[in-house]
A and B are shown apart, each in its own frame.
Chain A
Amino acid sequence: MTAKDFARRFASNRMALAGLLVILGLFGVSLSAGFLSPGDPDRPDLRARLKPPGSGHLLGTDALGRDVLSRLIWGSRVSLKVGLVSVGLATAIGLFFGALAGFYGGFADGLIMRFCDLMLCFPAMFLVLAVISLLEPSIWNVMAVIGLTSWMGVARLVRAEFISLKNRDFVLAARALGASDARLILRHLLPNALAPVLVSATLGVAGAILLESGLSFLGLGVQPPTATWGVMLADGKDYLSRAWWLSFYPGLAILVTVLSYNLAGEGLRDAIDPRR
């Protein structure tokens, strides 16, 4: 399968393409937040508290008179950053352990996979909350904890790929030519095992964004006054009956972002493996 085939198959899936475009758009928005944002996301204006969406403030203002649209735009940075960094971390750990287990098998495999099973016994939300409770809640801790508790799926995937690849002729040939273990893993096996990892990473970003916003919603993630979608939702909770827009728009933003990652991820999977 060439890259061109792959791109064509991906592009023929309209939903996946739409997802990818929205993701790119979101990155554009968060990178140019300074330009796009109509106002200062953190500047309170007590004369304009709880203004409904409309003139002056397109999506209304919150209880301190801060512009909801501006906060949404700046908040996109946090969600995208958390998604990328925590999934990057999880993927790196998963690749490392999965490659070790799949390549060497035997004792290392048993140990790593039992550890995986063990980690999977813990409800992710419980594990993350327990660790966060001992640390200061901050964006870096949230990213680290999400990354450290979500690598198991990648490890299993990579291990399965390695096991099915490691006795193929091209690997045996490279081994016969005297390639070292490290070279076999990095140059011959890993590149061929990356496709499913990419799919799971894309879907993983969606999960990480949901988890972060959940933590921030509970008050244990990114701390106010930083504008993040989860924090905005939590702030809006108390004004549910008076100002629906405070919680509606941030939730919608999360929904659209997570949906886009999921669609793009599924599209990637279908493009990589058209049989499914």
Chain B
Amino acid sequence: MMAPALLGITLLSFVVIHLAPGEPIDRMTDLNPNFTLESKQRLRALYGLDKPLSEQYLEWLGRFIRLDFGRSFAPDRRPVMEKIAERLPVTLALNLASLALILLVAVPVGILCAVRAGGLFDRAVTVVLFLGFAAPPFWLALLGMRLFGVDLGVLPVSGLTSLNYDELAPGAKILDLARHLVLPLAVSTLGGFAGLSRYMRSNMLEVIRQDYLTTARAKGLSERQVIVRHGLKNALLPVITILGLSLPGLIGGSVIVESSFAIPGLGQLFYMAVMGRDYPLVMAALVIGAVLTLAGNLLADLGYAWADPRLRDSAFK
């Protein structure tokens, strides 16, 4: 299943970029008086744009398999893969951290809401979740910067480290990094948090109505044991899938979070590539974003099969 999907992703990315009117090099040539028609032809030949699309795709795919995405159009002309490789870890770490945060907060909140559905806590949380779901992340970023960065002056508002980072002691380095991460993590977590806790709540509500919970209560188990041991496990299963599904949103959201907080990750790189019409880089980032999503979904499927004993017995033996 992976291989055809990967092929599809590359094909679709290629088609999307080539179907759009105009050529990537137009931006370089049209406004530049030094470019004659002849030199434009030479540039097209250099980037292989003069060949038929099918041939261009196969050539590109051949290089893609070797992880060679060509060179960036940006003035530094560095290989695209190199630029991506140095930024990917930042984005991955940020997204994994916010996934972990989302899970840690959303699951207990969802359960508490479901256990006392309609109560004060449930209603208060519902209001907060609706607000969190509707608030534009870049607006939250700006508000956070103003409140914590300017008015209170307690948190840094941009980058990952302070200027004097290199001179800090190891312990202080970690603290410095953590302080820089508070706002970006808060912003990137909120949207996913809202979705997941509502989902967790409705799952749990569903489970609470099941006969086996009544059985567990009838056995004389405490309410806590009933909820945690018998309810939670069953309500958690579908969450694994939702985590996988929330990945594209997180990765896409990193464009806004990273460019708001000047964090040197893939999202910011992609944004700069789009602004600079850096075509090989846009293409590579598009493919890598989709591959990350695909990998996330695959992991979620595997996780689901592993966590569900009914599936585990057939899938892992």
Residues of A within 8 A of B (CB): 114, 117-127, 129-135, 206, 210, 213-214, 217-220, 233, 236-237, 240-241, 244, 247-248, 250-251, 254-256, 258-259, 262-263
Min Cβ gap A142→B in Å is 14
Min Cβ gap B211→A in Å is 18
Given A120-B248, A240-B150, A251-B136, are A127 and B145 neighbors across the interface (CB < 8 Å)? no
- B-chain residues with CB within 8 Å of residue A233 when the two chains form the complex: 136, 138-139, 142
Q: Return the contact of A125 from the options B24, B252, B275, B297 (Cβ within 8 A).
A: B252
Asked if B111 CB lies within 8 Å of chain A CBs, one says no
Q: Is the CB of B5 within 8 A of A126?
A: no
Tell me what chain A mostly uses at the interface: helix, strand, loop, or mixed: helix
Min Cβ gap B96→A in Å is 16
The 8 closest A-B pairs by CB, nearest first: A251-B139, A125-B252, A123-B252, A134-B20, A259-B134, A258-B134, A123-B248, A133-B274
- A-chain residues with CB within 8 Å of residue B275 when the two chains form the complex: 133, 219-220
Contact with A along B257-291 (1 / 0, CB 8 A): 00100000000001101110100001101100110
Can you add 14 more A-B contacts, CB < 8 Å, to A125-B256, A217-B138? A118-B8, A123-B252, A126-B285, A126-B290, A131-B20, A133-B282, A214-B137, A220-B274, A233-B139, A240-B145, A251-B139, A258-B135, A259-B130, A259-B134
Min Cβ gap A189→B in Å is 28
Once A and B bind, how many residue pairs between them come within 8 Å at the CB atom? Answer: 141
Residues of B within 8 A of A (CB): 5, 8-9, 12-13, 16-17, 20-22, 24, 130-131, 133-139, 142-143, 145-146, 150, 248-249, 251-253, 255-256, 259, 270-271, 273-275, 277, 282-283, 285-286, 289-290, 293-294, 297
**Least CB separation from B127: chain A residue:** A15
Q: Return the contact of A129 from the options B5, B21, B270, B293 (Cβ within 8 A).
A: B270
Report Cα–Cα, A117/B293, bound state, in Å. Answer: 11
15 A-B contact pairs sorted by A residue (CB < 8 Å): A118-B9, A121-B297, A129-B282, A130-B274, A132-B274, A134-B277, A214-B136, A214-B256, A217-B136, A220-B275, A251-B139, A254-B139, A255-B134, A255-B135, A258-B136
Q: Is the CB of A255 within 8 A of B131?
A: yes
Q: Return the contact of B5 from the options A117, A123, A206, A236 (Cβ within 8 A).
A: A117
- A-chain residues with CB within 8 Å of residue B255 when the two chains form the complex: 125-126, 129, 218
Report Cα–Cα, A126/B249, bound state, in Å. Answer: 10
Q: Return the contact of B143 from the options A114, A220, A248, A263 (Cβ within 8 A).
A: A248
- B-chain residues with CB within 8 Å of residue A255 when the two chains form the complex: 131, 134-136, 139
- B-chain residues with CB within 8 Å of residue A220 when the two chains form the complex: 274-275
Question: Which of A123, A125, A206, A217 has the most chain B CB atoms closer than 10 A to its own CB?
Answer: A123
Q: Is the CB of A130 within 8 A of B286?
A: yes
**Least CB separation from B282: chain A residue:** A130
Q: Is the CB of A135 within 8 A of B251?
A: no
- B-chain residues with CB within 8 Å of residue A263 when the two chains form the complex: 130
Report Cα–Cα, A13/B155, bound state, in Å. Answer: 41
Q: Is the CB of B289 within 8 A of A236?
A: no
**Least CB separation from A217: chain B residue:** B138
**Least CB separation from B4: chain A residue:** A114
Q: Is the CB of A134 within 8 A of B17?
A: yes
Q: Return the contact of B133 from the options A129, A131, A256, A262 (Cβ within 8 A).
A: A262
- B-chain residues with CB within 8 Å of residue A131 when the two chains form the complex: 16, 20
Min Cβ gap B50→A in Å is 19
Report Cα–Cα, A134/B16, bound state, in Å. Answer: 10
- A-chain residues with CB within 8 Å of residue B13 when the two chains form the complex: 122, 130
**Least CB separation from A236: chain B residue:** B142
Q: Is the CB of A127 within 8 A of B16?
A: yes
Report Cα–Cα, A241/B153, bound state, in Å. Answer: 11
Q: Return the contact of B286 from the options A122, A135, A247, A256 (Cβ within 8 A).
A: A122
Question: Which of A126, A129, A244, A254 has the most chain B CB atoms closer than 10 A to its own CB?
Answer: A126
Q: Is the CB of B270 within 8 A of A247?
A: no
Q: Is the CB of A217 within 8 A of B293?
A: no
Q: Is the CB of B249 within 8 A of A133?
A: no
Given A218-B271, A248-B143, are A130 and B248 neighbors across the interface (CB < 8 Å)? no
Q: Is the CB of A126 within 8 A of B270?
A: yes
